[in-house]
Amino acid sequence: MISEIYKNDISASLYSYGNNFRIKKALEKDEVRIAFSGGSITKGWNGERYIKEDYTKIFFEYMTAKYDDKKICYSNYSTESANSFMGLSITSKEITDDNLPDIVFIEYAVNNECTREHMISFESLVHKMLSLPSKPAVILLFMINQSFYSSQGYMKKIGEHYRLPMFSIADTLSCMIKEKGFEWSMYSDDWIHPNEWGQRFIAECIINYFETLSDMETDEEVITGSPVYSVEYSGYMPYPPEKVIMEGYEKQSACEFFENGMKMKNDLTNKLLKFEADFRHLFITYKHDKTERFSDADVYIDGKKAALIQGKSIYGWGNVVLKHVCSFDSSAHHTVEIKVKDNKKEFFIAEFGIC
């Protein structure tokens, strides 16, 4: 038996109903495609292993049972340590005309920082998903870590502007812990990742909202004007790796969704990474670590040093990180070259991105 207190906590997680026009339209289809874009929480990682029944799969099972007369399709474009920058990259590669989603969940409140660049990347991702030919419903999820960190503040402003349904697991957990004596260990076995109970709690928060949809009248389609911050990154595209001039590097997969990486060879050959392209913004995805394992590298644009890639970070563990390294007032033709500082260390570019 589910207690009234638990039911109230689930209901309280719904920060905003948003506009239901696109969700209603999606649920009228004979085939409904659901996509998730997020970090390790949405990937189902609990700090030690992947949970078999994470919230995305629980929700998919609910939809399959509730709409047994429809074909429900499921895609998860989430990966460890991903923020909305990586979400832009992954969705640009994985979402094609053959698998356009009808409902998209976006979860990056724990991994995103509270900087303007991250605000722009998040709004650009939301705008990019809303602008897909399938006109999907976009739903925002806001998580929290044990220190009560969440970047949901600006995400809520973006969601309100586009009138999106939003769930604040962050607000609900904060209230449960600070006011009701709830223990963090009930939700998570570490400092961030939901355990089995936590994953089911998130799923039931979403399911509770979908249970109410049939009783709601369909809203008028919403039309939004200018962005809250900016959507200037929404045109992010990976630069074709086959067009990069490489010497002293070998092609190697960096991780899931970044399979066309460039790893520096551990030999005495000359090292060169160079390409030309038209762009306003340059992004680089690379590996970093908290140790001295990876070398720093200078980024030169048109022969001038423009940025530094740091191989050492207290947040790194051999994972990939996507950085916005430089921008210009307008798009123009540029030459980009990477110069590694220490050839005796490792260096791994997972992807160049431009827009």
pLDDT at residue 57 tops 50: yes
CA distances from 81 to 242, 257, 289, 323 (A): 27, 13, 12, 13
Q: How confident is the model at residue 50 (pLDDT cuts 50, 70, 90)?
A: very high
Bridge partners (DSSP) listed for residue 284: 323, 352
In angstroms, the CA 36 to CA 102 distance is 11
pLDDT tens, position by position, 75-105: 999 999 999 999 999 999 999 999 999 999 9
Please give the backbone phi and psi of residue 23, each rounded to the nearest 5 degrees, phi first: -65, -45
**Nearest alpha carbon to residue 124 among 87, 77, 80, 90:** 87
**H, E, C per residue of 235-247:** CCEECCHHHCEEE
Tokens coding 324: 């916005």
Q: Give percent of the chain with pLDDT exceeding 90.
A: 95
Q: Kindly report the CA angle at 248 between 247 and 254, in degrees rounded to 5?
A: 105
pLDDT at residue 321 tops 50: yes
In angstroms, the CA 57 to CA 76 distance is 9
Cα 217 to chain centroid distance, Å, stands at 31
User: 132: Cβ–Cβ under 8 A, 6 or more apart, which residues?
Assistant: 95, 100, 101
In angstroms, the CA 174 to CA 163 distance is 24
Owner of token pair 């220190």: 147
> Which pLDDT belongs to residue 225?
86
Question: What value does the mean pLDDT take over residues 17-29?
Answer: 97
Q: How confident is the model at residue 4 (pLDDT cuts 50, 70, 90)?
A: confident
In the chain, what is the greatest distance between 2 CA atoms, to the nearest angstrom? 69
> Which pLDDT belongs to residue 1?
46
pLDDT tens, position by position, 257-284: 999 999 999 988 899 999 999 999 999 9
CA distances from 46 to 40, 196, 261 (A): 8, 8, 27
Q: How confident is the model at residue 2 (pLDDT cuts 50, 70, 90)?
A: low
**Side-chain-facing half-sphere of 25: CA atoms under 13 Å:** 15
In angstroms, the CA 127 to CA 113 distance is 19
> Which pLDDT belongs to residue 303?
97
pLDDT at residue 140 tops 90: yes
